[in-house]
Amino acid sequence: MWGQSSRKDDVESGEQLLYPAMQESVELRWSFIRKIYTIVSIQLLLTIAVASVVVTVHPISHFFTATSAGLALYILLIITPFIVLCPLSYYYQRHPLNYFLLGIFTLALAFAVGLTCAYTSGKVILEAVILTAAVVVSLTLYTFWAAKRGHDFNFLGPFLFGAIIVLMLFGMIQIFFPLGKISVMIYGCLGAIIFCGYIIYDTDNLIKRYTYDQYIWAAVILYLDVLNLFQYLLTILRAADS
């Protein structure tokens, strides 16, 4: 527990508390952080496993891309995560229903990732995985280091939100008016930079601002940050490889 004398010593020495949001127990906050990273790790392992099956078992990808039933199912997989987020936002504190909904959310995205990778060379996928892992670990360690020294990244929120709007508009322009390989690479670079910022921003929120009952939401957000970073790095490498 944070004792009165401990807080007083911190104030008198001019040092900031490592986690301003948790005045009661450092151990409880670290337990909360470990729980979130355990959930995210399981989500990522499940995504890798499902995506690997989709990529290596060619009849699966053929069914989704070459048949009308498969195309309809693919569209359903795309919208399923958005549908699941609605009940998840209401039942995120109700165990084990929250984990069940989180599993559906993760499986749907895992299939979508697998279908995205199905027609990409293994070399490009491996490069994207290695880059994603290196960037996520580096940015996470940096954010924890910066938070320990009192730095705050809450100011990034409005800038990242504005950047996402620009990225979405850029993507819509690309759909209706394709601008070529260079513009695809620029789009991928912008997306990768934005989600690097989101990894820092959301990790900082995880350390300082999320309450203990928001572990499901924190896991979902971090998982989406990693997944989006991977997708945009894959876009860059696939355009360069072509």
The answer to whether residue 3 sits within a structural domain is no
Output the pLDDT for position 15. Answer: 41
Token couple for 194: 């934005």
Q: Which residues of the chain have pLDDT under 70?
A: 1-24, 242
- Do residues 232 and 128 lie in contact, with contact meaning Cβ atoms separated by under 8 Å? no
Output the pLDDT for position 133. Answer: 95
CA dist list (Å): 70 to 78, 140, 236? 12, 38, 27
Nearby residues of 55 by Cβ (< 8 Å), 6 or more positions away: 61, 114, 117, 118, 125
The answer to whether residue 15 sits within a structural domain is no
The answer to whether residue 1 sits within a structural domain is no
Output the pLDDT for position 21. Answer: 54
Output the pLDDT for position 212. Answer: 83
The reported pTM is: 0.85
Q: What's the domain count of the chain?
A: 1
The answer to whether residue 18 sits within a structural domain is no
The answer to whether residue 12 sits within a structural domain is no
Using CA atoms, how far apart are residues 16 and 205, in angstroms rounded to an integer?
A: 16
Output the pLDDT for position 2. Answer: 40
The answer to whether residue 19 sits within a structural domain is no
Output the pLDDT for position 3. Answer: 40
Output the pLDDT for position 35. Answer: 92
The answer to whether residue 100 sits within a structural domain is yes
Domain of residue 39: give its range. 24-241
